[in-house]
Amino acid sequence: MTCRFPCWVKALAGAALLGMSLSGALLAEDSTLAATPPMGWNSWNHFGCRVTAADVRAAADAIASNGMKNAGYTYVNIDDCWQGRRDADGNIRPNGKFGDMKALADYVHSKGLKIGIYSSPGPKTCAGYEGSYQHEAQDARQYAAWGIDYLKYDWCSASRVYKPEQMQEVYRKMHDALLATGRPIVYSLCQYGLQAVWRWGPSVGGNLWRTTGDISDHYDRMSVIGFDQNGLEKYAKPGHWNDPDMLEVGNGHMNRDEYLTHMSLWCLLAAPLLAGNDLSKMNRETLEILTNKEVIAVDQDSKGAQGRRVWQEGPYEVWAKPLADGSTAVGLFNRGEDAEKIGVNFSDIGVSGSAIVRDLWAHKDLGSFEGSFSAEVPRHGVVMIKVK
């Protein structure tokens, strides 16, 4: 679930930052999971607690057939509200909307995809369903038995039973439980970026960690979250990623230019790409945004570098991400209220002399340019290029 900000967040955010614990760091490095940022779908942004097994199957069907699988989307992730009660032995059971979780996992796997699930280290999830408190090892074994490939672990009610300074050991406890199952399971820490999680996320086994509060399908919220990631680039690397929350592309409250900004910025940030719309009903425009292979290649680049801001003047920004082939992906962003010409000086991205420029959204080579490149960028829009 997109993490919520109940009243305890302010108190936690004000706590003293914890130093990075080295215990467990070697365990975190043992895994080759998430060598590039995870790609897939998550149920929360569109379905919330209405989600059913049928919705999950429909998402898997769509990914497998509409080109998303070929574009790199792999994970089909169930968020909050799947849990039922525990049985007499304490084993977690799905509720009536999901039934046989092993059968659901097998169905997703039959499509050549992977499946994810959601829990909390507290007694309850954000929506009030059963959490994993005091059942961590048992739940990890159950997930592995079902065939789960990804766990999103949301702090939520953990604040009722743990102190802020226990956060690292609490997240490490579930990592160790997952590791003990012998099944490779991507571990997603969802705790709002509290206590500078980017400094210690890898040491507790995190493959990705939320760096922000919740996203919403509105330009102002999306842009604040995305552009505030500047400075965190030194903490991202293969296997360990900053996570500015899930994609809202296609949910209907932003226009095309704003969704292009959203997708471009997330790819420059080497962020996980987890679509959050109804894949079974999306239009062609949304599908084209989500499956642009040249833009996705920036996100999935093997160098594993996160982009950063290299220039800003008021609402106009230039971001750059170095790529494994020696080229640089660049985003010219207009956060202003009217169209504006925005340029990048090649010297700001480590390029001297002339360079060849390609427009990644238009799939078009623009030619060779000397010293700089500029383009008209629409309100709330982006021009995303590759400079080589």
CA–CA separation, 326 and 343 (whole Å): 21
Q: Which two tokens stand for residue 185?
A: 């399971």
Q: 139 an active-site residue? A: no
Nearest one of 226, 261, 230, 231 to 333, comparing CA atoms: 261
Question: Under a CB-based contact definition with an 8 Å cutoff, are residues 372 and 364 in contact?
Answer: no
Give residue 96's identity as a one-letter amino acid code.
G
Backbone angles phi, psi at 146, to 5 degrees: -70, -25
Exactly one of 154, 243, 278, 301 is catalytic; which is it? 154
- Amino acid, res. 252: G
DSSP 59-109: HHHHHHHSSHHHHT--EEE--SS-EEEE-TT--EEE-TTT--HHHHHHHHH
DSSP strands (E only) in 172-270: 186-190, 208-210, 241-243
Tell me the backbone φ, ψ of residue 310, rounded to 5 degrees: -110, -10
Distance separating alpha carbons of residues 270 and 267, to the nearest angstrom? 5
Beta-carbon contacts of 300 under 8 Å, excluding residues fewer than 6 positions away, are 36, 37, 39, 72
Q: How far apart are CA 53 and CA 57, in angstroms?
A: 6
Given the residues 214, 257, 348, 359, the one annotated as active site:
214
The rounded Cα 14 to chain-centroid distance in angstroms is 25
> Among this protein's residues, is 214 annotated catalytic?
yes
Active-site amino acid positions: 154, 214
